[in-house]
Chains A and B, each alone.
Chain A
């Protein structure tokens, strides 16, 4: 069966510090991978998605970047965090090329920038 691991679960970082959130998927090959951010109790904002190694699409210009160094590894980074980067970050995967393919989410990372 497929599993998705996302860590850390919580993170408190000072303004101006770097960020690295990691997500890995097991049990499937060449998945589509996604990073979402969620404001408290609201819908999901797509930040980045990837359909293959080294292929990253950015949805929202901002202080963040993403990389996919391996087929089932997706990393969200920042060189210098801003207060506005605080939020709940979710990684997800889906089967490639299927129009109705649902997303399978990790348990998220709660990031607080102080």
Chain B
């Protein structure tokens, strides 16, 4: 069974601070996706990383896929209250193109 463990589980920081969220597995994934979910809404895709070692930037968010494609990280620079939400990583379940395995989630709260 593929598992994606995210850390930390919960993070509360002040506006302007930097943070990193981790997504780790003992399994190799062909790609990983990152989603952000706000309260009462469905998750929304932020980025997909496909190549080992790949780095993608989305404004103040930097996503990295591990060289061995077993882990990924999300770094936020100068966090803002609008970054508050639940961050989820997800990867294709082995043997199927139809299903995603989701991580355990990191809840981020950014305060003024």
Contact = CB atoms under 8 A, between A and B. Distances in A.
Interface residues of A, number: 26
Contacts of A51: 98
Interface residues of B, number: 26
Given A43-B88, A49-B98, A108-B41, A100 B31 contact: yes
B99 A49 contact: yes
A41 B42 contact: no
Interface of A: 32, 36, 41-44, 46, 49, 51, 90, 92, 94, 96-108, 110
Contacts, number: 60
A46 B90 CA distance: 12
Interface of B: 6, 30-31, 33, 35, 40-45, 48, 50, 86, 88, 90, 92, 97-100, 102-105, 107
Contacts of B42: 90, 92, 105-108
Contacts of B41: 107-108
A100 B50 contact: yes
24 contacts: A32-B98, A41-B86, A42-B104, A42-B105, A44-B43, A44-B102, A51-B98, A90-B42, A94-B98, A98-B97, A99-B30, A99-B31, A99-B92, A100-B30, A100-B31, A100-B33, A100-B48, A100-B92, A103-B45, A103-B100, A104-B45, A105-B43, A105-B44, A110-B40
